[in-house]
Structure 1
Amino acid sequence: MSIHDWQKSSYCAQGANCIHVRKVTADWQKSSYSHEGANCLYVAAPASRTIALRESDEPDVILTTTPATLGTFIRAAKAGAFDGLTQDR
């Protein structure tokens, strides 16, 4: 992967703080916890030390992270750190 793989957003003005995007080409695997149909999580490792995640309903929206950060997130979720986020306030 090189700097030439990235493209600046067409909404970005010259010299502004810009968002750069890159098409992720990877072999996607569906989570074994996902059932048939919608709401499936897909994971890929498109580059060294990179994990990519996408959801079946929005396949063009891709989150990238490192294996260590994803591991920390999964451990926190399993420990219940995010359980209160979905409760009515």
Structure 2
Amino acid sequence: MTATAWQKSSYCAQGDSCVHVTATTDGLVKIRESADPSGSIVTTTAGDFRELLRALRVGSDSAPGFELSYGPGDQVRLRAAGDGDAVVTTSRARWDAFVKGAVAGEFDHFAEERASGARASA
């Protein structure tokens, strides 16, 4: 279950701090906040990630398989249903950069279904 390289949106500001996405060789998609690389990593299926991308493209904050909430200040939290207590917490600016990348199709390759054991491209 090796992960490929982490990818961030091209809309992220300078530096590496942003929402990052990767895929594992067994077809799972992982999402993290790179400002906290030892923090929570949300794990989901390629199909559920595809639904998240679809929802973001139409401007919805609701996607099957995910809970998205806005906390105090500019905090945004993302949790995948069935992923235990893992919650990715980021800023509104970083989330907005991720959404812009999603709308532009930058993460579509992570949403493709893969046969178990097939390598994902980054």
TM-score by length of 2: 0.38
The structural deviation recorded for 1:45 is: 2.1
How big is the alpha-carbon RMSD for the aligned residues of Structure 1 and Structure 2?
2.6
SS state at 1:47 partner: coil
Aligned length: 57
SS state at 2:72 partner: coil
Q: Name the CA distance, whole Å, in 2 between partners of 1:69 and 1:43.
A: 14
The structure 1 residue matched to 2:77, chosen from 49, 52, 73, is: 52
Q: Name the CA distance, whole Å, in 2 between partners of 1:59 and 1:67.
A: 23
- Spell out, residue by residue over 1:22-43, the C-alpha distance to the aligned partner (whole angstroms, 9 max, x if none): xxxxxxxxx5332xxxxx1101
* Structure 1 unmatched ranges of 5 or more: 1-18, 22-30, 35-39
Letter in 1 for 2:98: F
Partner of 1:70: 95
Q: Does 1:83 align with 2:108?
A: yes
TM-score by length of 1: 0.50
Structure (1 or 2) with the larger CA radius of gyration: 1
Partner of 1:33: 63
Against the structure 1 CA distance between its residues 78 and 20, is the aligned structure 2 distance closer, same or farther, given a 3 Å change threshold?
A: closer
Q: Name the CA distance, whole Å, in 1 between partners of 2:39 and 2:111.
A: 31
Q: Name the CA distance, whole Å, in 2 between partners of 1:46 and 1:80.
A: 27
Kept after mapping to 1: 8 A contact 2:62/2:68: no
* Structure 2 unmatched ranges of 5 or more: 1-37, 41-60, 113-119
- Spell out, residue by residue over 1:13-61, the C-alpha distance to the aligned partner (whole angstroms, 9 max, x if none): xxxxxx689xxxxxxxxx5332xxxxx1101223211111101111400
